[in-house]
Structure 1
Amino acid sequence: MEQKFENKQLFDLEIPNFEDLELTPVSPQYFKIIILNTILFSLFLLSGFLAAYLFFREDFSSLQIGMVFTVVVLLIAFLFLSAAIGFKYRKYAVRENDLVYQHGWLKRTLIIVPFNRIQHVKVEQGWFSKILKLKSISVYTAGTDAGDISVNGLPEETAEGINDLILKNIKAEYAEDGTGA
């Protein structure tokens, strides 16, 4: 019983073009959560600088202290700029057989997870997200984190709809295979 294995080469014209994929931006309300998190982290950085200044101010010159303060302020400015620019690249798409998520502005990442590879789905809602009526959906695949997706900042109905769609698709797949109910 010999099996014939083929692995034909695809030419550039045969490869699907993901540039044509229409991605949906996450909710604009999610930007408030990103800014709040950035503010909290910035306060943590400034508190650390202030504590270091109070304990070690005699050990360093005012020039050195000023340089460190400048670096901290520039880092905070970069964090806010990065949050603002990066937000517009947070997009997702739900297709018949997969979930697509794009993020990042310095390093753009596009993750595509087929529904038949998903093993677990989790819908979460933090305290600030609850106020803004947002949820996050996380899908987990077998074996590696590279295929896992967490899409944050989805309207509640959208997150629940994606969750239901994935669960129905998985249930249908198991029913076709005869491996599940």
Structure 2
Amino acid sequence: MTDEPQSAAAEPLWGEAEGLTAVEPNYRWVMTINAGILGLILLVGVAVADFVLAEKLGWQQGSLLGPLALIILYLVFAIPGRRWLRLGYDLSEDRLRVARGYLWRRDTIVPFGRIQHIDVDQGLIDRGFDLATLIVHTAGTHNSTVSLPGLDETRAAEMREAIRAHIKRETL
């Protein structure tokens, strides 16, 4: 075994060594609220199923609801923070890089020359936290849309204008 440093290819895609910029910290709350809404819907469905199983099959009331409620609580409160930690971007002179993923990792690089148009989107919960999503539409059909959520509203507009200005320079 040698003491040679590891190659750059062995370093993880996510981390400070990669020079990625993290999205806004408030985006963790947005993700948690969205997960909470989904979790609440699932919890109601599980409660109905638990009631039906108790009435029709004689199961013990709560035998399904209890364990699944614990799993849903874990998914609502633990997963969004971990996903937020693994979401970053880098805007350079000629490309946008978006890296994301907790279980399934994706590292997308979009050259400005491939961009067709750019949107800035804000959902209801995003507006409450002054956040926005930058959506880049590229040429092609497979994975032709790249979104970068969790940006400050002003930062998303600045990024849109910077990309638009670069594209305008290329077409002149």
- Same fold by TM-score, threshold 0.5 exceeded? yes
Aligned residue for 1:6? none
Q: 1:145 to 1:81 in 2, by over 3 A?
A: farther
Distance 2:25 2:79 in 1: 16
**Does the CA-based 8 Å contact 1:113-1:148 persist in structure 2?**
no
Q: Which runs of 4+ in 1 moved over 4 A?
A: 17-20
1:58 is paired with a residue whose SS is helix
Percent identity between matched residues is 29
- Give the Cα–Cα distance (whole angstroms) in 1 for the partners of residues 31 and 12 of structure 2: 27
Q: Write the deviation string for residues 67-94 of structure 1: whole angstroms up to 9, x where unpaired.
A: 4641353244134322121110111110
Q: In 2 relative to 1, CA 163–173 (structure 1 residues): closer, same or farther, beyond 3 Å?
A: same
Does 1:87 find its partner at 2:84? yes
Does structure 1 conserve the Cα–Cα contact (< 8 Å) formed by 2:54 and 2:60? no
Structure 2 gaps of 5+ residues are 1-6
Question: Which aligned pairs between 1:72-83 and structure 2 lie closer than 5 A?
Answer: 72-83=69-80
Residue 150 of structure 2 is matched in structure 1 by 153
Moved more, 54-63 or 38-47: 54-63
> Could you tell me how far apart the structure 2 residues matched to 1:24 and 1:31 are?
15
Partner of 2:134: 137
- Structure 1 residues 159 and 168, CA, compared in 2 at 3 Å: closer, same or farther? same
> 2:108 is matched with which residue: 100, 108, 111?
111
CA distance in 2, matches of 1:39, 1:71: 14
Does structure 2 conserve the Cα–Cα contact (< 8 Å) formed by 1:119 and 1:141? yes
Structure 1 Cα separation of the partners of residues 33 and 51 of structure 2? 27
Partner residue, 1:39: 36
Note the alpha carbon deviations across 1:19-73, whole angstroms, 9 max, x for none.
5531000000111111111111111011112222334422234359514641353
Letter in 2 for 1:96: E
Alpha-carbon shift at residue 131 of structure 1 (Å): 2.2
Gaps of 5+ in 1: 1-12, 176-181
- TM-score, normalised with respect to structure 1: 0.78
Q: How far apart in 1 are the matches of 2:170 and 2:90?
A: 21
User: Helix, strand or coil: the match of 1:119?
Assistant: strand
After TM superposition, give the deviation of residue 158 of structure 1 in Å.
1.0
Secondary structure of the residue that 1:57 maps to in structure 2? helix
Shift of 1:174: 1.2
Q: Determine whether 1:50 maps to 2:47.
A: yes
Residue in 2 that maps onto 1:166: 163
Q: Distance in 2 between matches of 1:74 and 1:58?
A: 24
2:3 matched residue in structure 1: none
**Quick one: which of 115, 124, 129 aligns to 1:127?**
124
The one-letter code matched in structure 1 to 2:40 is L
Range that drifts further, 19-28 or 152-161: 19-28
Q: CA RMSD, aligned part only?
A: 2.4
Out of 102, 105, 111, the position equivalent to 2:99 is: 102
Number of aligned residue pairs: give it.
161
Q: Secondary structure at the match of 2:171?
A: helix
Q: What secondary structure sits across from 1:144 in the alignment?
A: coil
